[in-house]
Amino acid sequence: MLDMMVVKKRVEDIFPEIAEIRNRIHMNPELSELEMNTRDVITDYLKEQNIDFSTNDEDFGVVGIIDSGGKAIGIRGDIDALPIQEEVDFEYKSQNPGVMHACGHDFHTAILLGTARILNELRNELPVGIKVFFQPAEETVGGAKQMIDRGCLKNPEVVSVIGLHLNPDIDTGKIELVNGVLNATFTEFKIIVKGKGTHGAHPDMGTDSIAVTADIIKGSQNIISRLKDPLKPGVISFGRIYGGTKDNIIPEEVVLEGIIRSFSSEEQKFLKSKLDDMARHASRWAGAKCDVIFEDSYPPLINDGGLYEIVKEEFSREFGFENLVLDSPPSLGADDFAYFCHESRGFYYTIGCHKPGDREYYPIHSPRFDPDINCIRTGILSQISAVKAIWESI
């Protein structure tokens, strides 16, 4: 059994080094599916710590293995950045114009490296194996599914997977735990409205694709407010509308793009069906045509209830019950950690990264997002505590 006093001392010992790694990654962010240098930082550190790892030629993911000869517990950290121009002017500011770690993945990566180092140092005390997943492309194509499809949960078999995310809504040192549904499933859609172009002075001579588009947008919100069960959260949001070339020309075609989000696959299927029906009806009524294209993305992220109870009890001992944030509502945001939850027992939680007493607040995906570096301590200690509690329950 791990001595958590030893673990806490090691967290303090390596904190400066892990903080420096985080700053280095932050200064050199890389977009999804382009994380080559970030992968090299990860593999170089794993080599230094004598931790076995594997990579593949298909993406920039890394799987570290601390093998005990039996089954394993997985820990995931995502590694990609966002296409955002950073507006925080510190010495570790992004050196890549238009690219920034605005979602905390630089912290996730550094924390997982620190966790792997300490667990490897204590490997003789581990009754199960540990696999650490440094996962690319969380912000785009869902790198978690790619890693799973390539066998990251096998050889040795992974029985549970945990992960964490930074949370600027709560102070450093606090941890938020949610039982059951944590994040939504989402579907991207494109609606192409095809009318008949004409002069703006003679709309009766054509079929106004812009007017049809307006009816679709208005009708979509009636789906949310009048057709959907009000006790089941869900949204239909439009992010892009484009069409037309000049103010006095009614265009042949207008394109709408957006997202549908909900907390269940059944609700998602319902919303997609109603949006498809409504768009086609609005187009047909006006004499236009339309194509409706859906592209499903991540499934809902559902935390395992048993792991929730195990982790909550362990964190209450290690961090104090007063530092746990419980009973928070789920978020309509999405995270591809959901794939791990569908393929294994999964548990995802958030750690506070807001500097206590600091009045400034910037959310994730903000160009001014600047987490408290001290949350690294909470991250490493919580991951090791969670792993310890899970293996004791197996």
What is the tens place of the pLDDT at every residue in 208-232? 999 999 999 999 999 999 999 999 9
Residues 365 and 239 in one domain: no
Same-domain pairing of 65 and 196 = no
Do residues 286 and 309 both lie within one domain?
Answer: no
Alpha carbon 22 to its chain centroid, in Å, reads 18
pLDDT bucket at 67, cuts 50 / 70 / 90:
confident
CATH of residue 173's domain is 3.40.630.10
| Residue 360 confidence (pLDDT) above 90 | no
Q: Does 178 score more than 90 pLDDT?
A: yes
Last residue of one domain, picked from the residues 278, 296, 314: 296
Same domain, 228 and 240: yes
Instruction: Please give the pLDDT value at position 385.
Output: 98
Query: Domain with 206 in it: what CATH number?
Result: 3.30.70.360
Structure confidence at residue 1 (pLDDT)? 74
Place of tokens 């593999």: 43
Q: Where is the domain boundary, 234, 263, 296? A: 296
Whether 45 and 157 share a structural domain? yes
- In terms of Cα–Cα distance, which of 258, 11, 201 is closest to 114? 11
Are 165 and 122 within one domain?
yes
On the question of pLDDT at 65 being above 80, the answer is: yes
In this structure, the answer to whether residues 221 and 355 fall within a common structural domain is no
Same domain, 339 and 365: yes
Q: What is the pLDDT of residue 285?
A: 95
For residues 161 and 225, membership in a common domain is answered with no
pLDDT at 69: 72
Q: Are residues 29 and 125 in the same domain?
A: yes
70: pLDDT strictly greater than 90: no
Per-residue pLDDT at 93: 97
What is the pLDDT, as a whole number, of residue 173? 98
pLDDT reading at 68 higher than 80: no
Band of residue 74 on the pLDDT scale cut at 50, 70, 90:
very high
* 224 and 178 together in one domain: no
Mean pLDDT of 103-112: 98
Q: How far apart are CA 349 and CA 372, in angstroms?
A: 17
What is the extent of the structural domain holding 290?
A: 185-296
Q: From the CB of residue 67, how many other CB atoms can be counted at a distance below 10 Å?
A: 15
Q: How many domains does one find in the chain?
A: 2
How confident is the prediction for the chain on average, in pLDDT?
A: 97
Render the burial of 5-31: b for 16+ CB within 10 Å, e for the rest.
eebbebbeebbeebbebbbebbbbbbb
Which segment of 69-73, 268-272, 307-311 scores lowest on mean pLDDT? Answer: 69-73
Same domain for 95 and 230? no
Confidence at residue 59, expressed as pLDDT on a 0 to 100 scale: 93
Name beta bridge partners: 68.
Answer: none
Which one of 296, 312, 338 terminates a domain? 296
Two structure tokens written together for 144: 């978690």
